[in-house]
Copies of this chain bind each other. A is one copy, B any other.
Amino acid sequence: MTRYQYLANLLAERIEQGLYRHGEKLPSVRTLSQEHGVSISTVQQAYQTLENLQLIAAQPRSGYFVAPRKAQPPVPAMSSPVQRPVEITQWDEVNTLLADHHDKSLIAFGSGAPDVSQATLKPLWRELSRLVQHNPCAVLGYDELPGRKDLREQIARIMLDSETVVVAEDVVVTNGCHSALAIALLAVCKPGDIVAVESPCYYGTMQMLRGFDIKAIEIPTDPQTGISIEALELALEQWPIKGVILVPNCNNPLGFIMPDARKRAVLSLAQRHDIVIFEDDIYGELAREYPRPRTIKSWDIDGRVLLCSSFTKSIAPGLHVGWIVPGRYRDRVLHMKYATSSTSVPAMQMAVAAFIRDGHYHRHLRRMRQIYQHNMEDWTCRVRQYFPCDICVTRPQGSFMLWIELPEMVDMVCVAKQLCRLKIQVAPGSLFSATGKYRNCLRINCALPLNDKNQEALRLMGEAVSIALE
């Protein structure tokens, strides 16, 4: 962090804490320069940064003042989806979205890609390159069905961070979290079965259910505490539900972390109704809090939680290294892994195992948590600035996704089409529902720093939404 960034952060914190009140005059540039032993221009840069963030305002010939507090937009309310099992549609829309991610001319706010440009990933490439040159036979040969033991051992090790106590034998490596969830679903469910999901629910998960002819029942979900246990219980009493898919840590798209008490409550509900929990922890490592939040799996005593995760968000998507802790379904999961994909790429597994073993993984993770937190604050600030004031915005407790709820009358599907002509791609909320909800919502990816290009795109987005409101 440069000096001016450090100073800007310090001042922002003081404003946040109320040490400088709203409307109050800030110390002069000269005073601050002497107080912190930094140059005049450093202080000026720091003030400029805060001004850009609209935390302070310059008054000509009088100095800098703390800006009047702009009310933080409220968090969206608990969702209230239609609570009956439905078949999922919208494959064409998702397919188009996926294709757009790779259109280099578009700014892809709709993608789920993490930032893979950080220097903390360098040891990973070096390891990959070393492996290919020095161990070609292992790299080119077949892998074991459960995945490489060295990697499974490292996975078991990092899972301790979430108080999830497993050994290498409990872990089955997959080609990513998507594969992991697919295998878990195929191991437990048959076509026609019903699975409960949070609402809104990640479109990839929904399209997977569609692919396997599994019906989804959408359960009301609170953007701050997660799935409604009461609504889930009601649904379990009414329908023959096989399991529930949950993203309890840094939920996609809502960003919440379920409080521990609620995690335990949902598990004991699953026990009472003898259903399975498919726990998607793909974003769990990117939680802001330290130590990272616990998994539901960490309380699982009868093996009914199938924990699915991957290094897609915490390291890089191109690795395609994920895993399942399948509990009591280990044999079925191995069989379905064999049926769907046989084994996984050894090179990537070996590289990730070394990356963790040598301490690079935790270093990288610490850095990414900071970066994402910083970027999320920047982006949220800009959304507040550019979007109309009657919106709700989530307050994610980790990862890099923002969910924005616009007034009912805004049809984001239409707005998204208009934005596409401006070379801006967003994920309209409707993709996150099987029953046509959330047409007035959108999810945006805040993984990358807010450069001029992104900022201008965000401004245009706000403008398009404002026009739709007129």
Interface residues of A (CB under 8 A from B): 91, 94-95, 98-99, 101-102, 111, 113, 116-117, 121, 125, 128-129, 132-133, 136-145, 175-176, 178-179, 182, 186, 190-191, 204, 207-208, 210-213, 316-320, 334-336, 338-348
Chain B residues contacting A139 (CB-CB under 8 Å) are: 125, 128, 318
- With A335-B207, A340-B211 given, is the CB distance from A117 to B145 under 8 Å? no
Assess the B140–A338 pair: CB atoms within 8 A: no
A288-B191 Cα distance, complex, nearest whole Å: 44
Assess the A334–B111 pair: CB atoms within 8 A: no
Q: Which 10 A-B pairs have the closest CB atoms?
A: A211-B339, A140-B316, A178-B342, A116-B140, A140-B318, A129-B129, A142-B317, A128-B132, A208-B339, A129-B132
Query: Closest CB-CB distance, A341 to chain B, in whole Å?
Result: 5
Kindly report which residue of chain B lies nearest to residue A144, judged by CB atoms.
B102
- With A102-B144, A142-B101 given, is the CB distance from A339 to B210 under 8 Å? yes
Assess the B141–A317 pair: CB atoms within 8 A: yes
Kindly report which residue of chain B lies nearest to residue A212, judged by CB atoms.
B339
Assess the A175–B140 pair: CB atoms within 8 A: no
A213-B213 Cα distance, complex, nearest whole Å: 14
Q: Can you give 24 A-B contacts (C-beta < 8 A)? A: A95-B338, A102-B142, A102-B144, A116-B136, A121-B140, A125-B132, A128-B132, A129-B129, A140-B318, A140-B319, A141-B318, A175-B344, A176-B342, A179-B342, A191-B191, A208-B338, A210-B339, A317-B343, A318-B345, A320-B344, A340-B340, A341-B341, A345-B348, A347-B347
Q: Of the candidates B143, B191, B210, which one forms a contact with A190 in the assembled complex, judged by CB atoms under 8 Å apart?
A: B191
Assess the A142–B318 pair: CB atoms within 8 A: yes
Chain B residues contacting A128 (CB-CB under 8 Å) are: 128-129, 132, 139, 347
Which of A111, A141, A142, A213 has its CB near the most chain B CB atoms (within 10 A)? A142
Assess the A341–B121 pair: CB atoms within 8 A: no
A129-B144 Cα distance, complex, nearest whole Å: 24
Assess the A91–B340 pair: CB atoms within 8 A: no
Chain B residues contacting A186 (CB-CB under 8 Å) are: 211
A290-B56 Cα distance, complex, nearest whole Å: 76
Query: Closest CB-CB distance, A92 to chain B, in whole Å?
Result: 9
Assess the B132–A117 pair: CB atoms within 8 A: no
A175-B210 Cα distance, complex, nearest whole Å: 21
Q: What is the predominant secondary structure among interface residues of chain A facing chain B?
A: helix
- With A116-B136, A128-B132, A178-B342 given, is the CB distance from A211 to B336 under 8 Å? yes
A210-B191 Cα distance, complex, nearest whole Å: 15
Assess the A341–B179 pair: CB atoms within 8 A: yes
Kindly report which residue of chain B lies nearest to residue A138, judged by CB atoms.
B318
A178-B343 Cα distance, complex, nearest whole Å: 9
Chain B residues contacting A175 (CB-CB under 8 Å) are: 175, 320, 341, 344-345
Q: Of the candidates B99, B145, B211, which one forms a contact with A95 in the assembled complex, judged by CB atoms under 8 Å apart?
A: B145
- With A95-B145, A339-B212 given, is the CB distance from A125 to B116 under 8 Å? no
A182-B342 Cα distance, complex, nearest whole Å: 10
Assess the A340–B338 pair: CB atoms within 8 A: no
Query: Closest CB-CB distance, A398 to chain B, in whole Å?
Result: 21
Query: Closest CB-CB distance, A146 to chain B, in whole Å?
Result: 9
- With A176-B342, A179-B340, A342-B204 given, is the CB distance from A141 to B129 under 8 Å? no
Assess the B101–A341 pair: CB atoms within 8 A: no
Assess the B136–A211 pair: CB atoms within 8 A: no
Assess the B207–A339 pair: CB atoms within 8 A: yes
Assess the A98–B145 pair: CB atoms within 8 A: yes
Chain B residues contacting A121 (CB-CB under 8 Å) are: 136, 140
Chain B residues contacting A345 (CB-CB under 8 Å) are: 175, 318-320, 345, 348
Query: Closest CB-CB distance, A144 to chain B, in whole Å?
Result: 5
A91-B187 Cα distance, complex, nearest whole Å: 14
Chain B residues contacting A207 (CB-CB under 8 Å) are: 335, 338-339
Kindly report which residue of chain B lies nearest to residue A186, judged by CB atoms.
B211
A345-B128 Cα distance, complex, nearest whole Å: 13
Which of A211, A318, A343 has its CB near the most chain B CB atoms (within 10 A)? A318
- With A211-B336, A338-B211 given, is the CB distance from A113 to B141 under 8 Å? yes
Chain B residues contacting A99 (CB-CB under 8 Å) are: 144-145
Query: Closest CB-CB distance, A104 to chain B, in whole Å?
Result: 12
